Homo-oligomer: A and B are copies of this chain.
Amino acid sequence: MNLKGVLPPISTPFQDGEVALERLRQNFQNWNQTGLSGYLVLGSNGEAVYLNEKEKREMIEVSRESIPASKILMVGSGMESTRETIQFTNQAARIGADCALVVTPSYFKGSMKPEILRDHFVAVAESSKIGILLYNVPQFTGINMEPELVAKLSEHPNIVGMKDSSGNIGQLSEIIHLSRKGFPVFVGSAPVFFPALCVGAAGGILAVANVVPNECVQIFDLFEKRKFDKARELQYQLTPLAKGVTTKHGIGGLKMAMDLAGYFGGDPRPPLKKPGPEVKEELKQLIQHLIEPKDKI
């Protein structure tokens, strides 16, 4: 397992309110044609918080069937309690996940001191049958993992990487510098994908890669070939769409953009909603604008 490159945190398709597994298979058929390194199943963008246990299991099973061995199957397995996190991580392992992404517990924000987080991640790492990645996403959790804590945890043999969605490049830079050499850190915020690569990120786990996987992979490839100016130029073109499907229009916007780009997006689960027709037009133009000029780069 080579932890690098671009992975989408895949969207969970619903039809008539239920998980639509056939639609998921279709999406994988298309995504598998691209240069994506793998997939994150049951991430934030997969609306994992809206799925029950059975639905989560089925999502992993169908993903396992659909993803070739050459690509990574990463599963979001973090829960609030340490024991449920361990149970669910090992369930994902049994179904065939390659690794698990474990978010910081966060409900009791004031109590989530560095030692509490450290003990939680060490306990999960010790008991997990697959490698785990730390997941820092302050905009959802209200909790931030300090670089010093990540650095310590990076020494654990079963903690195999990290996803940092803070969007804070200074912090990402420090995390990479302080952690053990070679510890792969993925950035989780597409508008800073290019600068994250500049400071040493291993790749990106990017919502917008559900919609335009080729363009995201192209930024990574241009960077690897040291064509920095072209990578930066493509980043500039990607940013408006990347913001459109996350901070600006949320999960509803992401699913709408997927529908526009030839994938199955569908509706999010309530209370989330799809945005209105004016957003559809906006997203349409952003996608077209992005796909057209890329040949020139």
Contact = CB atoms under 8 A, between A and B. Distances in A.
Given A173-B192, A174-B191, A232-B199, A270 B83 contact: yes
A198 interface: yes
Given A105-B271, A109-B140, A191-B170, A239 B83 contact: no
Interface string A71-109: 000000000111110000000000000000000010111
B198 A228 contact: yes
Given A111-B251, A169-B192, 13 more contacts: A44-B107, A49-B107, A108-B250, A108-B251, A116-B272, A119-B271, A120-B271, A123-B270, A170-B195, A173-B235, A174-B191, A195-B198, A200-B232
A198 B83 CA distance: 43
Contacts of A271: 81-82, 105, 112, 116-117, 119-120
A25 interface: no
Nearest to A177: B236
Given A191-B170, A191-B174, A232-B200, A116 B49 contact: no
Contacts of A110: 139, 247, 250
A47 B162 CA distance: 28
Interface of A: 17, 44, 49-50, 52, 80-84, 105, 107-112, 116-117, 119-120, 123, 139-140, 142, 167-170, 173-174, 177, 189, 191-192, 194-195, 198-200, 228, 232, 235-236, 239, 247, 250-252, 269-273
Contact of A167 (B84, B170, B269): B170
Contacts of A84: 50, 52
B170 A189 contact: yes
A90 to B, nearest CB: 16
A213 to B, nearest CB: 21
Contacts of A105: 271
Contacts of A198: 194-195, 198, 228, 232
A15 to B, nearest CB: 15
